[in-house]
Structure 1
Amino acid sequence: MINQDWKYLFTSFNGRITRETFWVGLAVLIVVNIGLSLIGAFLGMIFGPLSYLAAIASLATVYPAVALYAKRWHDLSKSGWWTLVALIPVLGAIYVIYMLAIKEGEPASNQYGAAAFDGPVAA
């Protein structure tokens, strides 16, 4: 995981990633969003209208998040468009969380690439 290609993880919609890689990528996006929120709060204390700049900047994390989700859907042999299921109130979000964060990926290669490996390497 330390040798992760971060550019690929957050900008490409091709390929597959494991649950572990998904969680790491999601954690990075959460930290970035928290950082942007803190900057916005600080700017808001200095000059109120500047707090909106941080809110707009946090929208920049949508693209990397969708790229992350698409690769995780690919590991489940589904199109990245399945991310739109999250727009269904409550049940959609629960389904997306289960599929992307909990369910194991397909063990064999599929139309999106070679199998992603989710576990320790056997010697």
Structure 2
Amino acid sequence: MDFGYILTSTSGRIPRSQWWAGLAILIVIALILGVLVTYLLGGAMTVVGRIAMLILNIVLLYPAYALSAKRFQDRNKPGSLALIGIGLSLLQSLLTVFGLMGNPFNQNALDYIFGILLLIVGIWYLIELGILRGTVGSNTYGEDPLAGRA
């Protein structure tokens, strides 16, 4: 499994197994860096912590996009659909930095709106990218990554 390709290239197709592996790597990286930010910078709710979390989000944007774009392409859909979840996540991070949302102890309407939107997109991604099989055979984006497997 070529994780460099999985997390950096937006061309081609990957099967579900590689998407799940790449997702697991991104989650572990995000958790480790999030814990470090929390402990080293005095918490994620401080101004410095919020900015650090935004930077972390920005750093992980491209690998997340590359990973999901290839899975959408495996389903013969444009990889740009991956920008929906990434855009929502980035917007949520920006609003959190500006103090408009993100306080788990005093949530507002934006917190609930983004929570619902991200839940809907997350369920869609789970089904579309993590459960449904890609296009059998070649499609617009390349050869079937499972071709030749039993």
TM-score norm. by structure 1 comes to 0.80
Query: Unaligned 5+ residue runs, structure 2?
Result: 89-115
Sort the Cα spacing of 1:93 and 1:45 in 2 relative to 1 into closer, same or farther, 3 A. Answer: closer
Question: In the alignment, does 2:25 pair up with 1:28?
Answer: yes
Opposite residue 133 of structure 2, the aligned amino acid is E
Question: In the alignment, does 2:35 pair up with 1:38?
Answer: yes
- How many residues end up aligned between the 2 structures? 117
Cross-structure match for 1:76: 75
Contact 1:19–1:72, Cα closer than 8 Å, also in 2 = yes
Residue 50 of structure 1 and its aligned partner are, at CA, apart by 5.3
TM-score norm. by structure 2 comes to 0.67
Opposite residue 19 of structure 2, the aligned amino acid is F
Q: Deviations over 1:64-110 (max 9, x none)?
A: 00100000001101101222454592433322221001101111111
Sort the Cα spacing of 1:97 and 1:54 in 2 relative to 1 into closer, same or farther, 3 A. Answer: same
Cα distance in structure 1, aligned partners of 2:144 and 2:5: 17
Query: Unaligned 5+ residue runs, structure 1?
Result: none
Give RMSD over aligned pairs. Answer: 2.6
